[in-house]
Amino acid sequence: GAGVSQSPRYKVAKRGQDVALRCDPISGHVSLFWYQQALGQGPEFLTYFQNEAQLDKSGLPSDRFFAERPEGSVSTLKIQRTQQEDSAVYLCASSTDRINYGYTFGSGTRLTVV
């Protein structure tokens, strides 16, 4: 596609519910990233994929967070047993030449846990 597509745009979850956030990167972009932005803060790194391989998951806040990219294209970020502190904007980005052009971000999924 022309850009990075994320769905849903907004998600309200009851505390304890599982959620799945989808990211469809730009076709051909090998690298894919997930970031979490809490209110009033800058985005924070969650995880990094190169094709289907998850090379870095050091930013995932707990074992309730799980990300996958099984065919090296679409990625899903899953949060189990959501807590109020999970409320944030979740951004997906992909890149092909980040040295020269940086990252292409999606418009994010705003998750609110009530």
Partner 1 sequence: ILNVEQSPQSLHVQEGDSTNFTCSFPSSNFYALHWYRWETAKSPEALFVMTLNGDEKKKGRISATLNTKEGYSYLYIKGSQPEDSATYLCAFPGDNDYKLSFGAGTTVTVRA
Considering only 18, 52, 56, 85, the residue that binds partner 1 (CB under 8 A) is 56
Helix (H) or strand (E) holding 93: strand 88-95
* Interatomic CA distance for residues 31 and 9, integer angstroms: 22
Give me the helices (H) in the chain, please: 98-101
Give me the helices (H) in 4-114, please: 98-101
The window from 14-22, 63-71, 78-86, 103-111 that contacts partner 1 (CB under 8 A) reads: 103-111
* Interatomic CA distance for residues 24 and 26, integer angstroms: 7
Considering only 106, 109, 111, 113, the residue that binds partner 1 (CB under 8 A) is 106
Considering only 91, 94, 109, 113, the residue that binds partner 1 (CB under 8 A) is 91
Q: Note whether 57 binds partner 1 by CB under 8 A.
A: no
Hey, which residues between 68 and 87 contact partner 1 (CB under 8 A)?
Answer: none
